[in-house]
Amino acid sequence: MSFEKLGVMKPLLSAIKELDYEYPTTIQIRAIPLVLAKQDVFATAQTGTGKTAAFGLPMLQRLRNTSADENRLLRGIILSPTRELALQIHEDLTHFAKNMKLNIAVLVGGKDIEYQQRILKEGVDIVIATPGRLIEHYEKGLDLSNVEIFVLDEADRMLDMGFVKEIRKTHPLLPKRHQTLLFSATYSDKVRKLSKLILNKPQFVESSKKNSTVDTINQIAYMVDTDRKAALCAYLIGSRNFRQVLVFTKTKKSADELVQELKKDGLKCGVIHGDKTQANRTKTLSQFKEGDFKVLVATDIASRGLDIEHLPYVINYELPGIPEDYVHRVGRTGRAGRKGEAISLLDIYDKYDIKDIERLIGQKILKEVVEGFEPDPNIRRKDVEDVKIKSEHKKEGKKPTKKHYKKTTNKHRRVTKRG
């Protein structure tokens, strides 16, 4: 299969050739012809499958422009859950559209709204926006009545982040006849419910097995005691000479603490989480991409959609609170057919969470011990039992009591605010 056979037009073909896109990926083969045929699409695709080009290329083709600058109308909207993903999509689409006369703007929170309004006044064809900021612009007069294509990228994540109100508010503002493309990494009930509301006779497209991790990723877990996790993390990065590694923590606090520990081991690190300003996150990500430092520590919220090409390693320093986030995390590596390795550091408290993850991805993760970092077999069983109580509480939707937290000795476990 080739992009040409899928019906992709010449200006786009020459642009993606420069990006070394030789053959289309599965999601691209399945989605591009449907989007070009103006169908509504419900696609389940994770980051790393080539989903941005799957909606981006046919969208650009459909909206190719012939009008003069002053007559530009906003005809395409892409909603993204995070600013980072919005910027990434903008970067990708700008590359794809380099031989076309299209103005593409990015409207994200945390940036000067008046500056964005000036850009809009100059005339744009496509915007990539976070849901709240799009509504703000609408309220300030942005005309949505000419929109032909509406894309929701990582719709599951948008719903997890509580953007359902904004999406429900945006949908009726669009003209009756428009094409909607919904991309989601998972096929959750929430997403299905939303799809019924906003999609019209959708075509279903799947890039890979439901909730499966990408096949080219080698997944391994190392058992270790909680208080030796940072040392093991530093040891793995140093001894295996990892060139570029993304390390995930569950909370902002543990991200900051880990960075301090890794620095003590002489590793140069950057950190991205919800407390960092947008400018700071963008700068850190580009420094990481340029190789200024080799370790990037991130929380789940900040990491979603980060596109780092050829990323060979991901370390789960702490498992995510939501099993689906494991799939998103390891999706940072092994992208578009390249090999990657996802390493999870498991302490005694992760025992139950890893089982939830294995159930979700439908496979067992190999568990090993690194010499010199063997877990202490005398760790009190009481702790394990505490964790079990906590896990059961979680399943029943109850919050563990203060008394329970007092029992546990793991300081990271007490911090539950996600970053």
- The binding site for ligand AMP (CB under 6 A) comprises 21, 23-25, 28, 47-53, 307, 309, 335-336
The least distance separating ligand AMP from the CB of residue 176, rounded to whole angstroms, comes to: 30
The least distance separating ligand AMP from the CB of residue 328, rounded to whole angstroms, comes to: 11
The least distance separating ligand AMP from the CB of residue 416, rounded to whole angstroms, comes to: 29
Using CA atoms, how far residue 44 sits from 30, 160, 191, 213, in Å, is 11, 16, 10, 13
Which of 307, 347 has the CB closer to ligand AMP? Answer: 307
Using CA atoms, how far residue 1 sits from 24, 28, 58, 358, in Å, is 7, 10, 16, 34
The least distance separating ligand AMP from the CB of residue 212, rounded to whole angstroms, comes to: 15
Which of 24, 400 has the CB closer to ligand AMP? Answer: 24
C-alpha to C-alpha distance for 326 and 331, rounded to whole angstroms: 8
C-alpha to C-alpha distance for 299 and 74, rounded to whole angstroms: 34
The least distance separating ligand AMP from the CB of residue 402, rounded to whole angstroms, comes to: 42
- Token match 């190719």: residue? 64
Which residues does 256 contact at the CB level (< 8 Å), separation at least 6?
271, 273
Which of 88, 116 has the CB closer to ligand AMP? Answer: 88
The least distance separating ligand AMP from the CB of residue 170, rounded to whole angstroms, comes to: 23
Name the nearest CA neighbour of 53 among 204, 156, 193, 207. Answer: 207
Which of 51, 412 has the CB closer to ligand AMP? Answer: 51
C-alpha to C-alpha distance for 63 and 96, rounded to whole angstroms: 13
Which of 48, 81 has the CB closer to ligand AMP? Answer: 48
The least distance separating ligand AMP from the CB of residue 103, rounded to whole angstroms, comes to: 22
C-alpha to C-alpha distance for 180 and 178, rounded to whole angstroms: 7
Rounded to a whole number of angstroms, the distance between the first and last alpha carbons of the chain is: 41
Which of 27, 259 has the CB closer to ligand AMP? Answer: 27
Which of 93, 159 has the CB closer to ligand AMP? Answer: 93
DSSP 66-130: -S-GGG----EEEE-SSHHHHHHHHHHHHHHGGGS---EEEE-TTS-HHHHHHHHHT--SEEEE-
C-alpha to C-alpha distance for 319 and 250, rounded to whole angstroms: 7
Using CA atoms, how far residue 273 sits from 90, 317, 419, in Å, is 21, 15, 6
The least distance separating ligand AMP from the CB of residue 92, rounded to whole angstroms, comes to: 6
- Label residue 336 left, alpha or beta by phi (over 0 means left) and psi (-120 to 50 means alpha): left
Which of 61, 65 has the CB closer to ligand AMP? Answer: 61
